[in-house]
């Protein structure tokens, strides 16, 4: 199946493809950021503070998306901020995913006490407001990159664990698992070779939805001043800085807000499409 | 018949209406709404020392012995005059016949009771430190009260301008944190913490009748929301927003805006108790020369701040040293000094920045960090919520390398402010024997001339040796509706009694 044939077959899901395309564009910008020749996102020129966006049909101008309250280029800050945001959110989703999948496997496969303890832990954490948990942990440990990733992973593992456990419960009883068991396969082999590959698909869908949620949560923490420390740029922080100037310099808050919205939207669209596409029961166009 | 009566009444009402607008316009109810940026936590004037919010509101209901007017000078309040009796006592003469609104007398005995309430550990008063130097309050006659102090207490009258007097009987029977009854120009209508405080003018107030019948304080934390509320006509006075908004509010044409020189000095406090700043004045001097205060003032504060003259005091403080000049910006010399101090290649330091308290703190700290970067100092910013910072700073006594911090002292006296560098103060983070002795000596006399001389020496020493980099006094920004005229002031008081109609 060529790429174009794939696109053609997915034409009814153009929203999902749009999301994927936007995300690819964002990733490309984030990766290429340092080589785009943009102004330093952490160095400002106080004489050029709060300059309006200069982008127009005629060209980009000096500061295409304007400058912020310290005279820093907003475009380069949005791109540098996307690196920060995607690094934190991506790492947190992967870390939370690994932990959540492993614990879900254990709970579903072994059952009994493992299951009961783990699932009550999940219940407790789901009952606890995630933002509050994140706030408490960051306030106690101090805001830095590692702590942020850890705390966001902490808020995210439960969803994987829940879904993987449910999957394992059904897969565990299937004939091929029973057959492997009869042939004398050990726990590790059963779990990793026979069960894991069959429960990974839903984990992938959870991961995309978690990515969107984590990006928003990270922005929220940064907004409250508990994110990565200035002058390093982050979207939530840019929103917080800009709200005071919303009436005099709308671009400081609006443009990072748009970037955040588009990113979360595209991740969500991609997630929806993945869920439909990977679901064996759904009608595949 | 009925319609006739109605018609007659209607005409009468109309006639009354006409006559009342003609003759009684000045008596129409005049309302005033002031927006504050932080919550009112309590109405009990002894349970707070925050002038900008709690005490400002309480000052409408209660009155002090001595009042600080908008010109920042003391003027008579309940006391008509006051004088020092030697170095260990102050005598106040009270107005005759002043009563609380429930009829309780406000005489010397009531003043004595108020001081005792603060000193009683059961009260849990926050303003207790102002009174620990008072050994006895003597009610000499109903209108003469004497404060006997343990040593000299030169700024006692200034401190009394923040001490609001409560009625003894009523206080014993009510919860003054949420209710209030005093001798001031206003009485409490409603207190909704986190939202608003509603006051109305007292009919039987003993002093000058205030300009407004109804005064409401609303809590609006967000700067942009406060500005929007003013422009929409919902509130009449707002303060403490970024200086860049002044021009925009003026241009909008719906309100007036401006700023006055503030009395809170901002500085970078270096931790002089640990390396690298311990006993290293050269390093301090290097950093002092490496900060371009004028660029920060012009760039971020529209030039409205007052650059510090190398001391924590501004010219309105008693004890200001006019001989000291602001530190120049000299990066070349700064680099040289840095090398002499042993940090030719690299110095990395943390700068703690409390958030949500000082105007544009985060922006200013970022610019300071980049300016110090130019002379080869890597500054790592550590932002933290103000409460968390104060905990670390005062309770845990665990300040990082440095912090961006501000201090003002509402008595406008060098004594209160300079003590913050004395070793025994929990906020000191500096141990200098000659400074500690000097501060103690200055506190031991009520003689103004002697104190001036001693404070000149102390400020000079702070300028030469201190591990603090004095930055500027941030401006107090304000905007008001066109119908009122606030006598803008550089300390934190925000009171309806300082506002006139136009």
The predicted-structure confidence for B203-231, as pLDDT tens digits, reads as follows: 989 888 899 999 999 999 888 899 999 99
Q: Look at A230 and B381 and tell me if their CB atoms are within 8 Å.
A: yes
Q: What are the φ/ψ torsions at residue B32 (nearest 5 degrees)?
A: -140, 135
* 8 Å CB contact of A247 and B355: no
Between chain A and chain B, the number of residue pairs with CB atoms below 8 A apart is 68
Q: Which of B224, B363, B384 shows the shortest C-beta gap to A246?
A: B224
The confidence score (pLDDT) of residue B1 equals 44
Nearest by Cα to B141 from B84, B81, B83, B91: B91
> What residues contact residue A240 under an 8 Å CB cut-off, 6+ apart?
A222, A223, A224, A225
Q: Which of A47, A230, A246 sits opposite B366 (nearest CB)?
A: A230
Q: What is the pLDDT of residue A228?
A: 86
Its pTM stands at 0.82
Q: Per the CB < 8 Å rule, is B223 touching A248?
A: no
Residue A43 at interface with chain B, using a CB cutoff of 8 Å: yes
Contacts of B227 in chain A (CB under 8 A): 247
End-to-end CA distance of chain B: 47
The reply to whether A141 touches chain B by the CB within 8 Å rule is no
The vertex-A64 CA angle with A245 and A266, nearest 5°, equals: 85
Chain B interface includes A243 (CB < 8 A) = yes
**pLDDT-derived band of residue A280, with 50, 70 and 90 as boundaries?**
low
What ipTM does this complex have?
0.80
Distances (CA, A) of A169 to A83, A106, A115: 38, 11, 11
pLDDT of residue B9: 52
Q: Which of B365, B367, B384 sits opposite A46 (nearest CB)?
A: B367
Cross-strand partners of B148: B89, B136
Neighbours of B68 (CB within 10 A): 24
Q: Does A244 touch chain B (CB under 8 A)?
A: yes
Work out the end-to-end distance of chain A between its first and last CA atoms, rounded to an integer number of angstroms.
14
CA distance B289 to B450: 32
Contacts with B370 from chain A: Cβ below 8 Å: 42-44, 231
- Element spanning B418, H or E: helix B414-418
Give the whole-number percent of chain B exceeding pLDDT 70: 94
- B227 and A50: CB-CB below 8 Å? no
- Is the CB of A250 inside 8 Å of chain B's CB atoms? no
> Which among B346, B349, B351 is positioned nearest to B335, based on CA atoms?
B346
The phi, psi pair for B392, rounded to 5°, reads: -65, -40
What contacts B223, CB < 8 A, 6 or more positions away? A243, A244, B37, B240, B241, B242, B245
Contact A247 B385 (CB under 8 A): no
Q: Which residues contact B353 (CB under 8 A, 6 or more apart)?
A: B361, B362, B365, B381, B382, B383, B384, B403, B404
Residue B246 has pLDDT above 90, yes or no: yes
Helix (H) or strand (E) holding B300: helix B293-300
DSSP-derived pairing of the beta strands B402-407 and B196-201: unpaired
Q: Which long-range contacts (CB under 8 A, 24 or more apart) does A120-129 make?
A: A122/A158, A122/A161, A122/A162, A125/A155, A125/A158, A126/A158
| Nearest residue, CB atoms, A139 vs list B223, B296, B388 | B388
The C-alpha atoms of residue A2 and residue B184 are separated, in whole angstroms, by: 84
* Chain B residues lying within 8 Å of A49, measured CB to CB: 299-300
Is B388 in the A-facing interface, judged by CB distances under 8 Å?
yes
Residue B351 has pLDDT above 60, yes or no: yes
Contacts of B222 in chain A (CB under 8 A): 243
Residues comprising chain B, all counted: 502
The answer to whether A50 contacts chain B (CB < 8 Å) is yes
Which stretches of chain A are DSSP H helices? 3-9, 14-32, 74-110, 112-127, 130-141, 145-171, 175-182, 187-189, 196-223, 235-242, 250-278
Chain A residues close to B242, C-beta within 8 Å: 69, 244-245
Closest-CA distance of chain A to residue B250, Å: 12
Can you give the pLDDT at residue B198?
Answer: 97
Q: At residue B390, does pLDDT exceed 90? A: no
Q: Which residue has the higher pLDDT, B74 or B50?
A: B74
Distance, CA of B415 to CA of B442 (rounded, Å): 8
């Amino acid at each position: 199946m060529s790429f174009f044939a794939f696109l053609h077959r997915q034409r009814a899901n153009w929203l999902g493809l749009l999301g994927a395309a936007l995300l690819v564009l964002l990733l490309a910008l984030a990766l290429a950021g340092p080589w785009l020749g943009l102004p330093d996102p952490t160095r400002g020129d106080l004489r050029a503070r709060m300059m309006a966006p200069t982008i127009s049909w005629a060209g980009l101008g000096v500061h295409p998306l304007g400058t912020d309250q310290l005279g820093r280029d907003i475009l380069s800050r949005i791109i540098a901020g996307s690196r920060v945001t995607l690094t934190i959110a991506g790492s947190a989703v992967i870390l939370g995913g690994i932990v959540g999948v492993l614990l879900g496997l254990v709970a579903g496969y072994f059952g009994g006490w493992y299951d009961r303890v783990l699932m009550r832990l999940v219940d407790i954490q789901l009952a606890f407001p995630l933002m509050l948990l994140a706030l408490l942990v960051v306030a106690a440990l101090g805001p830095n990159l590692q702590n942020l990733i850890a705390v966001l992973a902490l808020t995210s593992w439960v969803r994987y664990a829940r879904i993987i456990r449910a999957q394992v419960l059904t897969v565990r009883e299937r004939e091929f698992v029973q057959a492997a068991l009869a042939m004398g396969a050990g726990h590790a082999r059963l779990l990793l070779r026979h069960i894991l590959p069959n429960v990974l698909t839903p984990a992938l869908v959870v991961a995309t939805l978690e990515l969107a949620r984590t990006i928003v949560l990270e922005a929220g923490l940064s907004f409250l001043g508990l994110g990565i420390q200035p002058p390093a740029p982050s979207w939530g922080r840019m929103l917080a800085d800009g709200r005071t100037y919303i009436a005099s310099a709308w671009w400081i808050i609006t443009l990072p807000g748009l970037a955040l919205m588009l990113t979360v939207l595209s991740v969500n669209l991609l997630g929806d499409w993945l869920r439909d596409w990977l679901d064996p029961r759904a009608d595949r166009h | 018949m009925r319609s006739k009566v109605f018609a007659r009444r209607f005409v009468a009402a109309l006639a009354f209406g006409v006559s009342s607008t003609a003759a009684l316009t000045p008596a129409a109810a005049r309302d005033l709404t002031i927006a504050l940026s932080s919550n009112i936590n309590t109405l009990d004037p002894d349970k707070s020392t925050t002038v900008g919010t709690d005490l400002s509101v309480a000052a409408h209901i209660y009155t002090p012995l001595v009042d600080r007017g908008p010109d920042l000078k003391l003027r008579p309040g309940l006391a008509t005059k006051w004088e020092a009796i030697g170095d260990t006592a102050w005598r106040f003469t009270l107005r005759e016949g002043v009563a609380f609104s429930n009829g309780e007398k406000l005489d010397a005995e009531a003043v004595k009771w108020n001081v005792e309430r603060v000193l009683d550990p059961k009260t849990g008063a926050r303003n207790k430190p102002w009174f620990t130097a008072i050994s006895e309050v003597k009610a000499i006659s109903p209108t003469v009260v004497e404060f006997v102090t343990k040593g000299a207490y030169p700024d006692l009258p200034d401190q009394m301008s923040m001490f609001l007097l409560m009625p003894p009987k009523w206080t014993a029977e009510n919860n003054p944190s949420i209710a209030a009854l005093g001798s001031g120009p206003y009485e409490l209508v409603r207190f909704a913490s986190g939202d608003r405080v509603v006051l109305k003018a007292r009919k039987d107030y003993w002093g000058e009748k205030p300009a407004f019948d109804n005064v409401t304080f609303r809590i609006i934390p967000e700067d942009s929301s406060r500005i929007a509320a003013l422009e929409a006509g919902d509130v009449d006075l707002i303060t403490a927003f970024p200086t860049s908004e002044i021009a925009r509010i003026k241009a909008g044409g719906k309100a007036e805006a401006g700023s006055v020189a503030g009395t809170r000095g901002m500085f970078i406090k270096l931790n002089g108790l640990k390396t690298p700043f311990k006993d290293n004045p050269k390093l301090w001097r290097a950093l002092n020369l490496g900060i371009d205060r004028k660029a920060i003032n012009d760039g971020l504060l529209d030039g409205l701040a007052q650059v510090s003259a190398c001391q924590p005091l501004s010219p309105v403080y008693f004890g200001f040293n006019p001989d000291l000049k602001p530190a120049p910006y000299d990066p070349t010399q700064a680099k040289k000094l840095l090398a002499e101090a042993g940090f030719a290649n690299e110095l990395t330091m943390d700068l703690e920045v409390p958030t949500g308290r000082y105007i544009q703190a985060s922006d200013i700290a970022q610019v300071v960090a980049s300016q110090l970067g130019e002379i080869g100092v890597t500054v790592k910013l550590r932002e933290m919520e103000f409460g968390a910072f104060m905990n670390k700073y005062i309770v845990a006594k665990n300040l990082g390398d440095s912090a961006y911090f501000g201090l003002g002292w509402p008595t406008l006296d060098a004594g209160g402010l300079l003590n913050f560098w004395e070793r025994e103060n929990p906020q000191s983070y500096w141990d200098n024997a000659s400074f500690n002795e000097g501060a103690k000596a200055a506190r031991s006399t009520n003689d103004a001339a002697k104190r001036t001389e001693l404070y000149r020496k102390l400020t000079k020493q702070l300028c030469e040796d201190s591990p603090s980099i004095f930055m500027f006094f941030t401006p107090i920004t304000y905007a008001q509706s066109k119908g009122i005229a606030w006598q803008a002031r550089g300390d934190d008081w925000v009171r309806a009694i300082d506002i006139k109609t136009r």
